[in-house]
Amino acid sequence: MQKTNCSLPNETIEACKESHAILLGAVGGAVGTDRWKDHPTGDRPEKGLLRIREQLGLYCNLRPAILYPQLKSASPLRADLVKDGLDIIIVRELTSGIYFGKKSRVNGDCDETTFATDELYYNKKEITRILEDGFNVAMKRNKYVTIVDKANVLETSKLWREIAEEVANKFPEITYKFMYVDNAAMQLIVNPTQFDVIITTNMFGDILSDEASVLTGSIGMLPSASLGNTTLGLYEPSHGSAPDIAGCDIANPLATILSVAMMLRHSLNLEAEAKSIENAVGAVLDCNYRTKDIFEEGKILVGTNEMSNLVIKELK
Ligand code: IPM
Ligand code: MG
């Protein structure tokens, strides 16, 4: 965006559509000043990300939160809460909900009469497909789903629950329960191992995935995949661009490297290769190498480049 002043030029969309998979760098801009505050059309980097998800129909966002056994003491949670590790996957709806509903700003000058709206919209098709995808993910894991909503307040959440009952009928082997989002935010802290697959809306998934990620030691460890109806997928680290440490060679590259593993698995059908990347990351952690975000006493501190090279060496 810095180069073209446009968050998503048409050439980029075209190139993405012709690809088998997309690896996306983290999104965000310079720290402190908001460089795009006065953009003539209100364009911003985040808008590019939302548009690319929408234009490519990538409605299903998979965000695994895995606490590597080597990083147990990097988790902010008490040791007894994570003694058996953590392995949660958040299945987040990604192309509808409050992110994409109608927005308005009336009497825009911000005086007493000014107001703004963001519509929270979901239709049956959108809810059904994300629930089905989430249940299919659960079939390959422990067959246990938690559907997170706010059905005590929101009409869209009530609709989610009705449709969830329908979808669940097609998956008799799966145990599922509903949980309000406020309670889920708390349960992730007090009893995180109760979760396996969490299926939720765009906004709740955004918030809970940041929360879940940090339980695993560092958001710098977590990959993500955004999928649609074809094998075309977009892969990106769950974290932002961390402009405050740009160029310092201290950022953790593992979330991006693990995103490549997800890309090999979900878009390119290369399961063995995906596993070998994940194993290489595990091996480098076993050898006690740590970037700053996951560093602790007694470990070997390495920078972004060195960490990447260690994983490459291990792969070879
Ligand atoms: C994420 C990010 C994005 C989102 C932003 C950058 C628009 O927070 O991928 O979680 O809210 O979806
Ligand atoms: Mg987010």
21-23 vs 233-237, strand pairing mode: parallel
Q: What is the pLDDT of residues 296-315, one digit of tens each?
A: 999 999 999 999 999 999 99
How many CB atoms neighbour CB 176 within 10 A? 20
Q: What is the pTM of this model?
A: 0.94
Q: How far apart are CA 280 and CA 207, in angstroms?
A: 30
- For ligand 1, whether the C-beta of 27 sits within 6 Å is yes
Q: Quick one: which atom of ligand 1 is closest to the CA of 45?
A: 6
78's CB contacts (< 8 A; 6+ apart) are none
Q: What is the pLDDT of residue 29?
A: 67
Percentage, residues of the chain above pLDDT 70: 98
Q: Tell which wins on pLDDT, 213 or 174.
A: 174
Ligand at minimal distance from the CA of 97 is 1
In degrees rounded to 5, what are phi and psi of residue 177? -140, 160
CA 299 to centroid of ligand 1, rounded, Å: 32
Burial class (CB in 10 A: 0-12, 13-18, 19+), 187: middle
Lowest mean pLDDT among 29-33, 199-203, 281-285: 29-33
In the chain, what percentage of residues exceed pLDDT 90? 82
Q: How far is CA 288 from CA 20, 87, 243, in A?
A: 35, 21, 27
Q: Is the CB of 49 under 6 A from ligand 1?
A: yes
At 30 the pLDDT is 62
Query: Which is the catalytic residue, given 59, 68, 99, 176?
Result: 99
Top mutation candidate among 1, 7, 8, 27 for ligand 1, by most atoms within 8 Å of CB: 27
Give the pLDDT confidence of 142-175 residue by residue, as tens digits: 999 999 999 999 999 999 999 999 999 999 999 9
Predicted pLDDT of residue 299? 96
Question: Active site includes 244?
Answer: no
Catalytic annotation, pick one of 121, 210, 292, 299: 210
**Residue 149 known to be catalytic:** no
User: Which token pair is 67?
Assistant: 């606490």
Q: Kindly report, residue by residue over 99-126, the tens digit of the pLDDT.
A: 999 999 999 889 999 999 999 999 999 9
For the segment 193-216, the average pLDDT, to the nearest whole number, is: 96
Residue 51 has pLDDT above 90, yes or no: yes
